[in-house]
């Protein structure tokens, strides 16, 4: 009991101990902020990578791709019970261009199936028009696009009406007000295009139904009536400016020149749904032995997608899987003599798989081995399934070149701040050494009345642990609220002092990650308590070795 009494008395009466508590609190808060922000960065990149590729990636190692992918998806679902869903995927470089303008950009074209894609990844969470739709599509209702566009127009008009100071870095020579004016003009133009398309929608649907009925009557054979209806449908489509769903496209929100961010982190579009873009590519599906030729197709923009990682959003567009398959010369090839005989099956270059249940790396590795085994068995039974071999990787293995360096940066940063935090251990050691030196008489009295050496040592060890505990609690509270409100704090600093560390116009994410995980907090608190014990250990040992006669002799 006397140990607890003296420990609490020293904690309350010794003002110098408050400096040790403050040091521990600052170190804990600093470590909590650094770990939370770095973990948030890593988590965002991981979610984006996993959202792009699913849990497991089956990828062709050759340019010509893998065939019979639908059959393989059905087979792997039977062979590996953990497989919840799978979807084929094509990813090829392409040339993106806005018709009748000088703008162009080299990006990646991703061929995906919707809504199947949403069953494998979180693709729908980043969509603008169809955000959080359970079954997104390449053919969303025009009225829904109009509603989302009207909301953006209202937002830009409100933003334009505010008193905005020019940005510190100009974009293409325009100030913020000029860029907002240009964005408004683009939105007004897109709204006009959508209205025209909606006015023609009923006529297009009727012509399409008539064409289908005509082909049904002719058993799929072209006739004069079907040719006339096809011509009529083409005229209506051209007049409406709204292409067939197979020629709809979803842009990554971040492609250079097509949008910009305000200082508040809001994304403003220059190219809106309803506008058109052209995609051109050199088809890789023909193989390396053929003479390359450029394939091009015009698309109508129906949505855009944001993963919150600029390295993905700035260089990818999404088109219907079968359309990109045709553009890349990966469609099935048939015999000239026997039109029903497939010479080369339709191909993709990746299959993305979602795993049910636990998706930690160890669990995914076990499922990956099962998928790889299923592929080898499938290929042995279907030699035409791939032009070459495939690799089967977990999403983390597939993105090791991106995730690995970020993990190393996080580890290095934590180590650096951990070394800096050793100042708390040194400060506690100095303070306790001074306290032991000043309390020589008290230690002598305690030993004279029967206190043991271990008991005296326990007083100062408990004292150190208490400083570590109190400091860690205060530091955890301060660090938690700093992380939670780190973006408003930065906005306030920018407002009052004109200084912004995290410029939302240019960084990878729209805002600084502000989530605090429980496990790192517990580890940091435990480390602070251990630091208090380590700092008190040598002074406690010195106090324990004191002899009562020697301790009282110099008082």
For residue range 121-145, list pLDDT tens digits in order: 888 888 999 987 889 999 998 899 9
β 390-394/248-252 pair status: unpaired
pLDDT of residue 8: 53
Q: Which of 170-174, 288-292, 374-378 has the lowest mean pLDDT?
A: 170-174
pLDDT band at 164 (very low <50, low <70, confident <90, very high): very low
- Of the pLDDT bands very low, low, confident and very high (cuts 50, 70, 90), residue 172 is very low
Asked if 245 contacts 139 with a C-beta cutoff of 8 angstroms, the reply is yes
433 vs 79, 89, 427, 458, 459, CA distance in Å? 67, 66, 10, 15, 13
| Phi and psi at residue 341, to the nearest 5° | -90, 125
Cβ neighbors of 47 (< 8 A, separation 6 or more) are 122, 307, 308
Q: What is the mean pLDDT of the chain?
A: 79
E strand or H helix that includes residue 269: strand 267-269
DSSP 398: H
242: nearest Cα among 211, 207, 281:
207
How would residue 550 be classed by pLDDT, with cut points 50, 70 and 90? low
SS3 state at 289: coil
Domain locations in the chain as residue ranges: 2-46+403-553, 62-388
- The CA distance from 26 to 408, in Å, is 25
Mean pLDDT across 461-485: 83
List of residues 6+ apart from 447 with CB closer than 8 A: 453, 456, 546, 547, 548, 551
Confidence grade of residue 169 (pLDDT, cut at 50, 70, 90) = very low
Q: How many angstroms separate the Cα of 474 from the Cα of each of 4, 27, 30, 480, 541?
A: 21, 11, 12, 10, 28
Q: What is the pLDDT of residues 177-228, one digit of tens each?
A: 888 888 899 999 898 888 888 887 778 778 878 878 887 777 667 787 888 8
- Specify the pLDDT at position 397: 83
Specify the pLDDT at position 412. 79
* Token pair recorded at residue 402: 């991106």
Q: How far apart, in Å, do the first and last CA atoms of the chain sit?
A: 26
Does the pLDDT at position 504 exceed 60? no
Percentage of residues in the chain with pLDDT exceeding 70?
Answer: 77
User: Token digits for 45?
Assistant: 């990149």
Band of pLDDT at residue 166, cut at 50, 70 and 90: very low
Give the pLDDT score at 456. 59
Quote the CA–CA distance of 93 and 348 in Å, as a whole number.
14
Cα–Cα dist 16/222, whole Å: 95
Length of the chain: 555
Nearby residues of 143 by Cβ (< 8 Å), 6 or more positions away = 198
pLDDT band at 2 (very low <50, low <70, confident <90, very high): very low
- pLDDT above 70: residue 470: yes
Give the separation between CA 326 and CA 524, rounded to whole angstroms. Answer: 55
Long-range CB contact pairs, 254-259, < 8 A, 24+: 254/306, 254/310, 254/313, 254/314, 255/96, 255/105, 255/107, 255/313, 255/314, 255/315, 255/317, 256/105, 256/314, 257/103, 257/105, 257/172
Decide if pLDDT at 490 tops 90: no
Q: What is the mean pLDDT of residues 379-406?
A: 77
Nearest to 464 by CA among 538, 536, 539, 544: 536
Least confident of 92-106, 446-460, 510-524: 446-460
Does pLDDT of 57 surpass 80?
Answer: yes
Would you list the DSSP string of 49-60?
A: HHHHH-SEEEEE
Average pLDDT over residues 306-335: 86
Q: Which pLDDT score is estimated for 93?
A: 93
- In whole angstroms, give the CA distance from residue 406 to residue 341: 50
303-327: b or e for each residue (b if 16 or more CB lie within 10 Å)? bbbbbbbbebbbbbbbbbbbbbbbb
Q: Which of 84-88, 329-333, 450-454 has the lowest mean pLDDT?
A: 450-454
Q: How confident is the model at residue 350 (pLDDT cuts 50, 70, 90)?
A: very high
Backbone angles phi, psi at 403, to 5 degrees: -70, -40
Query: Is pLDDT at 173 greater than 50 in this prediction?
Result: no
Stretch 383-388: mean pLDDT? 62
Q: Which residue has the tokens 């006339």?
A: 228
425-444: pLDDT as tens digits: 677 777 766 665 555 555 55
**What is the average pLDDT across 492-506?**
65
Mean pLDDT of 46-57: 79
């Amino acid at each position: 009991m006397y140990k607890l009494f003296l420990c609490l008395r020293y904690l309350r009466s010794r003002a110098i101990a408050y400096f040790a508590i403050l040091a521990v609190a600052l170190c804990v808060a600093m470590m909590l902020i650094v770990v939370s922000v770095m973990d948030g960065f890593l988590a965002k990149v991981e979610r984006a990578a996993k959202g792009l590729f699913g849990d497991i990636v089956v990828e062709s190692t050759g340019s010509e791709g893998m065939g019979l992918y639908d059959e393989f998806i059905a087979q792997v679902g039977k062979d590996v019970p953990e497989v919840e869903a799978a979807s084929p995927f094509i990813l090829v470089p392409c040339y993106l261009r806005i018709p009748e303008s000088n703008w162009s950009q080299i990006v990646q074209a991703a061929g995906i199936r919707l809504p199947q894609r949403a069953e494998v990844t979180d693709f729908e969470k980043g969509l603008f028009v169809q955000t959080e739709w359970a079954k997104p599509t390449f053919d969303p209702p025009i009225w829904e696009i109009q509603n989302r566009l009207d909301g953006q127009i209202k937002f830009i008009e409100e933003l334009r009406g505010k008193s905005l100071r020019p940005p510190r870095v100009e974009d293409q020579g325009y100030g913020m007000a000029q860029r907002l004016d240009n964005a408004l003009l683009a939105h007004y133009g897109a709204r006009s295009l959508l209205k025209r398309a909606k006015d023609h929608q009923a006529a297009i649907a009727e012509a399409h139904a008539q064409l289908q009925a005509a082909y049904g009557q002719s058993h799929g054979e072209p006739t004069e009536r079907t040719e006339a209806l096809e011509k009529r449908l083409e005229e209506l489509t051209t007049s409406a400016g709204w292409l067939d769903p197979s020629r709809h496209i979803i842009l990554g929100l971040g492609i250079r020149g097509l949008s910009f961010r305000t200082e508040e982190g809001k994304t403003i579009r220059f190219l809106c749904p309803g506008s058109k873009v052209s995609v051109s590519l050199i088809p890789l599906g023909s193989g390396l032995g053929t003479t390359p030729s450029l394939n091009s197709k015009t698309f109508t923009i129906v949505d855009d997608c944001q993963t919150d990682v600029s390295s993905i959003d700035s260089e990818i567009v999404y088109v219907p899987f079968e359309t990109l398959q045709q553009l890349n010369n990966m469609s099935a090839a048939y015999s000239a003599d026997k039109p029903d005989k497939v010479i080369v099956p339709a191909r993709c270059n990746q299959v993305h798989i979602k795993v049910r249940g636990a998706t930690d790396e160890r669990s995914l590795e076990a499922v990956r081995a099962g998928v790889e085994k299923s592929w080898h068995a499938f290929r042995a039974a279907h030699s035409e399934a791939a032009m070459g071999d495939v690799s089967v990787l977990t999403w983390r293995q597939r993105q090791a070149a991106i995730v690995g360096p970020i993990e190393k940066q996080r580890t290095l940063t934590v180590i650096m701040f951990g070394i800096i935090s050793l100042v708390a251990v040194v400060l506690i050691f100095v303070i306790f050494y001074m306290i032991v030196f000043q309390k020589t008489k008290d230690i002598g009295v305690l030993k004279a009345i029967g206190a043991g050496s271990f008991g005296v040592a326990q007083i100062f060890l408990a004292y150190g642990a208490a400083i570590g505990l109190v400091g860690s609690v205060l530091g955890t509270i301060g660090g938690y609220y700093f992380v939670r409100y780190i973006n408003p704090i930065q906005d306030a600093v920018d407002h009052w002092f004109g200084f912004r560390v995290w410029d939302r116009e240019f960084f990878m994410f729209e805002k600084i990650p502000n989530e605090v995980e429980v496990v790192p907090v517990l580890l940091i608190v435990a480390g602070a308590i251990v630091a208090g014990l380590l700092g008190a250990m040598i002074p406690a040992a010195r106090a324990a070795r004191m002899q009562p006669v020697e301790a009282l002799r110099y008082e």
